[in-house]
Amino acid sequence: MLKRGFKAEAERMAGFYRKLLELKEHDPLPARQLADKLEIKLLTPRDIPGIDDDLLNLLLVTGKNLWSAAIYRREEKEYIIHNPTHSPLRQESDLMHEIAHAICAHELSNLQTAVMDCIIPLRKYNHDQEDEAEWLGACLQLPQKALFHHYKIKGMDEAAISQHFNASEQMVRYRLGVTGVKKIKWQK
């Protein structure tokens, strides 16, 4: 369950990070650009030094639909390892979710496991932190002000907004609903 005021704070953060990157409040906020600004290094399994070919095959072929992304801290630096086999829309959402963990200053685990002589980061699951990251990640990608601008003022449909923001149509529909944008009366 989200703490009181978190949803409004998430909307403010979405505006803050757009300003930080010199974007308008209704512009898309690319996850890779935000990660770069926050000095979060993005990795795929191929970027892991010395990863065994069998493990790489397991992560990117056999089990490619079993994982999305994870954020971890190592030597005071934050890293996101993500699944490059997912669609660009899914990757954008996954990256925003993990970036949201960093923005919220969630306690990132240093827990790691050795698999086939390769170190793989794992994180403990905290329901409250996951709820916050899910909400903030979606809000960073599709804040209410941006949705209002494109849906109500510009008259874009869900498919056009999806393409413009590199978000799935399902995510656009969800955010249009939970932000109340569809219910707002607006005349051009």
pLDDT tens digit sequence for 119-156: 455 555 688 999 999 999 999 999 999 999 999 999 99
**Would you state the pLDDT for residue 148?**
97
Q: What is the pTM of this model?
A: 0.89
CA distance 142 to 138: 6
Q: Is 183 exposed, middle or buried (0-12, 13-18, 19+ CB in 10 A)?
A: exposed
Residues in the chain: 188
- The dihedral sign for the CA sequence 179, 20, 45, 77: negative
**How does pLDDT run across 92-107, given as a tens digit for each residue?**
999 999 999 999 999 8
CA distance 155 to 157: 6
Domain assignments of the chain as residue spans, ordered by start: 6-182
